[in-house]
Chains A and B, each alone.
Chain A
Amino acid sequence: MSQAHASAETATAEALIHLDAVTKVYAGTEAPAVDRLTLDVPEGEILILVGPSGCGKSTTLRLINRMIEPTSGRIVFEGEDVTDVNPDQLRRRIGYVIQQIGLFPHRTIAENIGTVPQLLGWDKTRISGRVDELLEMVGMEPHLYRDRYPKELSGGQAQRVGVARALGADPDVLLMDEPFGAIDPITRDRLQNEFLRLQAELRKTIVFVTHDIDEAIKMGDRIAILGDSSAIAQLDTPERILAQPANEFVEDFLGGGATLKGLNLRRVREIEVAEGYPVIRPDTSREQALAALRSSDEDFLLLLDAEGSPTRWLDEDNITDPATALGASGLPVRVTVEPEDTLADALEFMLQSAHGTACVVDSHGRFDGMIRLETIMGEIASMQRAAREASAERKRKGAS
């Protein structure tokens, strides 16, 4: 993500999609749905269009692949003016994901994913190879899923297939209209993380519409906050939008807790994890455990199982109580955080755990270290500082 942030400065030069004063007025209405919108989407960036419902963000997205024909203005795609080219040919070069997914119920998963390659006239072996590759990419076993029908999939699986289908002919650009909007929050969170991981590899140019500011902050390299008629209220990186809302409209739209939202941007792997937290293993004796606890500044120590996964919190009373075995006393470790979790997740776990700390585990569930509330507070402070500096910088630039 940070890579794309850096390139945002030079956006115009390498814009893959360029909208130039694009306007859409629907027949029979006075006010334009989209009013002279000029927008650049640089290569490899996720640009989020976010705004209240009815602001024209979906219309804007559909103008790019000409599902809706613009009333005036130009659309430039990979340096080529596509305002008047054959829209069907254009769309075969652009991946498209919609909220309702719209899988073809009468076609197998493989046929669904192979739709665009088939339209482009690829031969069967090539399509079949591509389908398997895409299924694996979205984490679904090809031999299990390729011959199933959409009705046999869960919502999350269907959305994965929807994304795989959009990537069918390896387009450079993806347009996504609230792709995770109709999915339960837990699955949505997982799909978002998976998608970001995928994007880190694929580096597609993505225009992503949502009405959910938290999703925008999490997914976007840059965010365009749109007001009426798709007027851009602010277009910037999530960090800077949170730190310096351009006006009252943006502020209202962000709602409270901008800094808290900022915690959605940082991941556990990016911050330093406190090492040296006192831990004991199943074979540790009571005396050794007591010594370990007393030699640290902590009130609790952590019991790991044979695999190294955290299992229980023990305090001094638990350790010295001879009536209960160490493995059965104290409190169980209910939640752990992984390197890919956001600091917002970590903070939530900490507040739940009542220890003011959260166990970080690696991808195998092994204990890796501890995050403390103070670490997160420090992150918040440094984010606020960075935001202040950024805005001062911008004001200085604006003045000169």
Chain B
Amino acid sequence: MTARTPAAAPGLFRRVRSSMSDPEGGWIGLVITPVMALILLGTMLWVWNTADIDQTTRNILEGSKLRGQFQEHLFMAAWSTVFVIGIAVPLGILLTRPRFKRFATPVLTFASSGQAIPAYGLLILFFTWIGTGPWTSIYAFTLYAILPVLRNTIVGLEQVDDAVIEAGRGMGMTKLEALRKIELPLSVPVILAGIRTALVINIGMAALAVFIGGGGLGETINSGLKLRRDVATFMGAGIVAMLALVVDWLAALAERYLRPRGV
């Protein structure tokens, strides 16, 4: 730091960080995402207005079809995220309790290797096991996206200062009260960051569901590819990307407002 740096600057930045930013990207992250979404939207509109649109493309991109696919897409992404949270957060809590701590590393290793399987392979694996339909995809995506939430839950709980827990227990909080009133609130930012990652992974993954008959916006992309209608493919992919950007942005906002004050 040079002597010319105004003395107020560090304090100013700290204030900005704590009130406006998410832990990873800083407040700029919150602005960049909408800007990117707008640029994408602009490009899509430009393509739509300038490209040569034939009837096949119009059929693929028909409004009611897109709406249905959009709903299926969100349905799959939402449910798989709900399952991820329902499994990974309790599992993470369990794996940070003294009795089960020793299983944390093996379970995390297993979850990481699960993610090393190509997503498409995992989907096919579930297809041969359960059969066709959106729920098969939901189960497969759940398994695929568990890792970030599980890892962040464990890391989030472990980074809580032992002295704070010691103080709470020393004043007569039960183990459950210490977990509920101290450990979980203090790990909320880290856990939320994991959930946000899982949500974005799931939105991207849901585009693959079409290959096992799960529907979603993958259908538009797939039709465009099969019928060689590049505009349709681009539009399908663009909508998925927009959805991912908007959801990520909403999750970033949630991170900011659900983060406990004072931390």
Stretch binding the partner chain, chosen from B3-11, B96-104, B170-178, B237-245:
B170-178
Determine whether the beta carbon of A88 is less than 8 Å from that of B172.
yes
Determine whether the beta carbon of B263 is less than 8 Å from that of A105.
yes
- Is A304 interfacial (CB 8 A cutoff)? no
- Is A146 interfacial (CB 8 A cutoff)? no
Known: A106-B263, A149-B262, A151-B262. A88 touches B173 (CB 8 A): yes
Known: A100-B161, A106-B185. A92 touches B172 (CB 8 A): yes
Cβ contacts under 8 Å, A149 to chain B: 261-262
Determine whether the beta carbon of A104 is less than 8 Å from that of B171.
no
Within 8 A of A (CB), among B209-263: 260-263
Determine whether the beta carbon of B261 is less than 8 Å from that of A102.
no
- Is B1 interfacial (CB 8 A cutoff)? no
> Complex Cα distance A356/B199, Å?
76
Cβ contacts under 8 Å, A220 to chain B: none
Determine whether the beta carbon of A67 is less than 8 Å from that of B169.
yes
Determine whether the beta carbon of B260 is less than 8 Å from that of A96.
no
Cβ contacts under 8 Å, A150 to chain B: 262
Within 8 A of B (CB), among A95-128: 96, 98, 100-108, 115-116, 119
Determine whether the beta carbon of A91 is less than 8 Å from that of B169.
yes
Determine whether the beta carbon of B172 is less than 8 Å from that of A91.
yes
Least CB distance, B207 to chain A, in whole angstroms: 38
Within 8 A of B (CB), among A58-110: 65, 67, 88-93, 96, 98, 100-108
Determine whether the beta carbon of A101 is less than 8 Å from that of B167.
yes
- Is A204 interfacial (CB 8 A cutoff)? no
> Complex Cα distance A119/B260, Å?
20
Cβ contacts under 8 Å, B177 to chain A: 119
Name the residue in A101, A115, A149 with the highest tally of chain B Cβ atoms < 10 Å from its Cβ.
A115
- Is B117 interfacial (CB 8 A cutoff)? no
* Set A90, A98, A116: member contacting B163, Cβ < 8 A: A98
- Is B168 interfacial (CB 8 A cutoff)? yes
The chain B residue sitting closest to A116, CB to CB, is B171
Least CB distance, A182 to chain B, in whole angstroms: 10
- Is B36 interfacial (CB 8 A cutoff)? no
Determine whether the beta carbon of A105 is less than 8 Å from that of B186.
yes
- Is A24 interfacial (CB 8 A cutoff)? no
Determine whether the beta carbon of B171 is less than 8 Å from that of A92.
yes
- Is A165 interfacial (CB 8 A cutoff)? yes
Determine whether the beta carbon of B260 is less than 8 Å from that of A102.
no
Determine whether the beta carbon of B164 is less than 8 Å from that of A102.
yes
Least CB distance, A108 to chain B, in whole angstroms: 7
Determine whether the beta carbon of A104 is less than 8 Å from that of B182.
yes
Known: A107-B262, A151-B262. A102 touches B173 (CB 8 A): no
Within 8 A of A (CB), among B66-120: none
Contact with A along B146-163 (1 / 0, CB 8 A): 000000000000000101
* Set A88, A105, A151, A175: member contacting B164, Cβ < 8 A: A105
A65-B170, A162-B167, A165-B171 given; 7 more Cβ-contact pairs under 8 Å = A102-B166, A104-B167, A119-B173, A149-B261, A149-B262, A151-B263, A175-B170
Q: Mind listing 18 A-B residue pairs with CB under 8 Å?
A: A92-B172, A93-B172, A96-B167, A96-B170, A98-B163, A100-B166, A101-B163, A102-B164, A102-B168, A105-B186, A115-B173, A116-B171, A116-B172, A119-B172, A119-B177, A151-B262, A162-B167, A168-B171
The 6 nearest A-B residue pairs measured at CB: A102-B167, A149-B262, A100-B163, A92-B172, A106-B260, A91-B172
